[in-house]
């Protein structure tokens, strides 16, 4: 690279980072890259001065534009301390990627990996991200849900994923027909009228069926009959001519399109011939200019199909990058999307944001922060290994963020009433022992009516305990004052006096818990995060009924 370009590069990057480029900083960078420039120091200084002053006269947008035009691999190194490896052959400003959600329900925590990795790389390379709804007809077992389109967008917005364009497979049927016809004309695809069983058997045995030898004209007219509704569902498919002796039986003359009369939730009954996913992707990835495809490592046959079709047409190829499956241990108990839909229809759960679904909406309701999910996913990296992680790892990421903002309140789940033999009217207590900036509140105390956890009472009756924020007592039905001192070794228990309020806490398994809480919780706004002593973090979801969702411990 010429020295002028190196100077320009660092001037632009410096200006981008700090608003204005500094001559000293640029000189340092240039010398680090080209030490021999020292020999012509005077020339270097003049050139830097000129370039820096020029760059500093540019607008932010112009600088961005020039940086993306530079197309220099070093730029990437300069701008990031990256968690994840480079994408192969990625050019700054030219990366195109796509998200391909199947709209059978909202995105859940398992999908977050796919979504955030794509978003991460597109942002890293200043590329383009296309939200491409993978809504071919689906199947009986995995139908499309009309609400899922909006739910998916809502989840992406919440996560802070920036997509630049939205496309729908269901808008593009004519495109797939056109390319299928081309493949037929090239002698690379044919209409097969064998039964499903025959196709399977032939595939297993590596036998070509007689359909494979149909003339192009015959194939074209049969394809037209498929489209025109003259051939019933299940009686014909379009197959790609790969090789009926291919070592992978699944790859032997795969199906490209089939007939399906089912109504599509978005476009109704307008079309009856539907492409298989990998055929549609082979076409679309080319047409939208996808440069990199992040894909679950189990989808190797999809790679093969796409490459095979790209080769036939002589198209430029996208790069595949594979990653392993991410599962959370406790998520194992989660509801499937089809089961959730049925339960919603039957009114057994309230909706897609029920905590048992592990949807992004449900995590939001529980009080997860999108940044925590992002950190969790990106820290896992881009490994091909399947990982099953304890939910605690996700919780720990979230806790780091919310611990500083969640005020602590008293709530007693299984209250048992005690009295105090001591006159006290109110106390003043911090909202968080470690963060005084969260402030103080006053709590009224009636010595005749104090509630503590039944469990604590039974375990520690007759012993010295401290009521948090008050003093040490000897715990009993009538507890006697011991001391204002609270020694380290004395157990500290939470409590509620009067006035108090009843609250509801919805647990991740859908169970509801009731509790008696200090009246100060009425100050909270919907969406506020709190921490109830011993219970854990919760998010206020409904102020009227004081319903909270449990976040985690
Ligand atoms: Zn056949």
CB atoms within 10 A of CB 312: 17
139-187 confidence digits (pLDDT tens)? 888 889 999 999 999 999 999 999 999 999 999 999 999 999 999 999 9
Q: How far is the CA of 306 from the centre of ligand 1 (A)?
A: 22
> Residue 326 Cα, ligand 1 centroid: separation in angstroms?
39
At 72 the pLDDT is: 55
Half-sphere exposure of 174 toward its Cβ, with a 13 Å CA cutoff? 2
pTM: 0.82
Ligand 1 centre to CA of 221 (Å) is: 16
Distance from the CA of 211 to the center of ligand 1, in angstroms?
Answer: 4
For residue 265, the CA-to-ligand 1 centroid distance in Å is 31
**Cα–Cα dist 546/553, whole Å:** 20
Gap between the terminal Cα atoms of the chain: 55
Q: How far is the CA of 249 from the centre of ligand 1 (A)?
A: 16
For residue 137, report the distance from its CA to the centre of ligand 1, in Å: 23
Identify which of 460, 484, 486 has the alpha carbon closest to the alpha carbon of residue 474.
460
In the three-class reduction of DSSP (H, G, I as helix; E, B as strand; rest coil), residue 479 is classed as strand
pLDDT of the residue at 79: 45
How close is the Cα of 138 to the center of ligand 1, in Å? 23
User: What's the CA-to-centroid distance between 179 and ligand 1, angstroms?
Assistant: 21
Sheet containing strand 512-518, strands side by side: 407-409, 529-532, 536-542, 547-552, 500-506, 512-518, 411-412
Residue 42: per-residue pLDDT: 85
Which strands, in side-by-side order, build the sheet including 478-483? 492-493, 464-467, 472-474, 478-483, 415-420, 450-453, 495-496
Ligand 1 mean position to 177 CA, how many Å?
20
Ligand 1 geometric centre to CA of 383 (Å) = 41
State the pLDDT at residue 80: 45
Distance 303 CA to ligand 1 centre (A): 25
* Residue ranges in the chain whose pLDDT is less than 70: 1, 71-82, 331-333
The closest of 280, 232, 229 to 256, measured between CA atoms, is: 280
Distance 191 CA to ligand 1 centre (A): 7
- Rounded Cα gap, residues 396 and 546, in angstroms: 26
Residue 199 CA, ligand 1 centroid: distance in Å: 7
The Å distance, Cα 314 to ligand 1 centre, comes to 27
> How distant, in Å, are the alpha carbons of 215, 260, 299 from that of 139?
32, 9, 18
Provide the pLDDT for residue 81: 53
Tell me, in angstroms, the distance from the centre of ligand 1 to residue 195's CA.
8
Summarize pLDDT for 398-454 with one digit per residue, the tens: 999 999 999 999 999 999 999 999 999 999 999 998 899 999 999 999 999 999 999
Q: Where are the alpha helices (DSSP H) in 99-195?
A: 109-124, 148-159, 173-185
Q: Kindly give the distance from the C-alpha atom of residue 235 to the centroid of ligand 1, in angstroms, as a whole number.
A: 10
What's the 213 CA to ligand 1 centre distance in angstroms? 9
Distance 234 CA to ligand 1 centre (A): 12
CA of 209 to the centre of ligand 1 (A): 5
How many angstroms separate the alpha carbon of residue 102 from the centre of ligand 1? Answer: 30
pLDDT at 78: 44
If phi over 0 gives left and psi between -120 and 50 gives alpha, with beta otherwise, what is residue 406? Answer: beta
239 C-alpha to ligand 1 centroid (Å)? 9
């Amino acid at each position: 690279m010429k020295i002028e370009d190196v100077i320009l590069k660092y001037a632009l990057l410096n200006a981008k980072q700090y608003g204005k480029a500094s001559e000293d900083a640029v000189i340092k960078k240039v010398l680090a890259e080209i030490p021999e420039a020292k020999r012509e120091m005077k020339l270097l200084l003049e050139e830097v001065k000129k370039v820096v002053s020029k760059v500093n006269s540019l607008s932010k947008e112009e600088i961005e534009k020039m940086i993306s035009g530079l197309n220099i691999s070093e730029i990437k190194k300069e701008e990031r301390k990256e968690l994840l490896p480079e994408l192969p052959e990625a050019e700054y400003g030219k990366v195109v990627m796509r998200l391909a959600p199947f709209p059978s329900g909202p995105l859940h925590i398992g999908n977050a990996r796919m979504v955030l990795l794509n978003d991460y790389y597109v942002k890293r390379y200043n590329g383009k991200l296309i939200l491409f709804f993978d809504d071919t007809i689906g199947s009986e077992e995995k139908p499309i849900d009309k609400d899922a389109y909006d739910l998916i967008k809502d989840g992406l917005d919440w996560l802070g994923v920036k997509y630049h364009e939205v496309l729908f497979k269901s808008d593009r049927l004519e495109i797939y027909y056109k390319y299928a016809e081309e493949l037929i004309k090239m002698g690379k695809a044919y209409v097969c009228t064998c039964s499903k069983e025959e196709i399977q058997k032939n595939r297993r045995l590596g036998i070509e069926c007689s359909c494979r030898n149909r003339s192009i004209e015959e194939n074209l007219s049969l394809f037209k009959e498929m489209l025109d509704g003259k051939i019933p569902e299940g009686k014909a498919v379009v197959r790609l001519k790969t090789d009926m002796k291919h070592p992978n039986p699944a790859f032997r003359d795969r199906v490209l399109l089939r007939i399906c009369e089912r109504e599509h939730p978005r476009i109704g009954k307008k079309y009856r011939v539907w492409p298989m996913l990998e055929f549609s992707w082979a076409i679309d990835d080319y047409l939208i200019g996808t440069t990199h495809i992040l894909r679950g490592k189990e989808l190797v046959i999809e790679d093969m199909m796409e490459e095979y079709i790209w080769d036939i047409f002589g198209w430029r190829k996208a790069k595949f990058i594979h990653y392993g499956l991410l599962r959370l241990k406790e998520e194992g108990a989660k509801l499937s999307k089809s089961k959730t839909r049925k339960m919603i229809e039957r009114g057994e759960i309230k909706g897609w944001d029920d905590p048992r679904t592990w949807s992004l909406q449900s995590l939001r309701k529980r009080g997860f922060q999108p940044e925590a999910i992002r950190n969790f996913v990106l820290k896992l990296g881009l490994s091909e290994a399947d990982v099953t992680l304890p939910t605690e790892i996700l919780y720990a990421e979230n806790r780091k963020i919310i611990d500083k903002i969640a005020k602590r309140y008293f709530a007693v789940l299984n209250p048992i009433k005690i009295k105090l033999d001591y006159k006290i009217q109110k106390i003043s207590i911090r909202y968080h022992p470690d963060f005084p900036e969260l402030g103080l509140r006053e709590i009224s105390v009636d010595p005749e009516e104090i509630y503590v956890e039944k469990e604590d009472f039974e375990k520690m009756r007759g012993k010295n305990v401290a009521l948090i924020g008050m003093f040490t007592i000897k715990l009993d039905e009538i507890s006697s004052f011991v001391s204002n001192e609270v020694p380290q070794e004395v157990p500290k228990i939470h409590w509620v006096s009067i006035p108090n309020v009843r609250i509801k806490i919805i647990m991740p398994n859908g169970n509801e818990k009731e509790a008696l809480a200090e009246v100060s919780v009425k100050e909270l706004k919907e969406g506020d995060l709190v921490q109830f002593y011993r219970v854990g973090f919760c998010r206020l979801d409904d102020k009227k009924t004081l319903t909270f969702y449990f976040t985690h411990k």
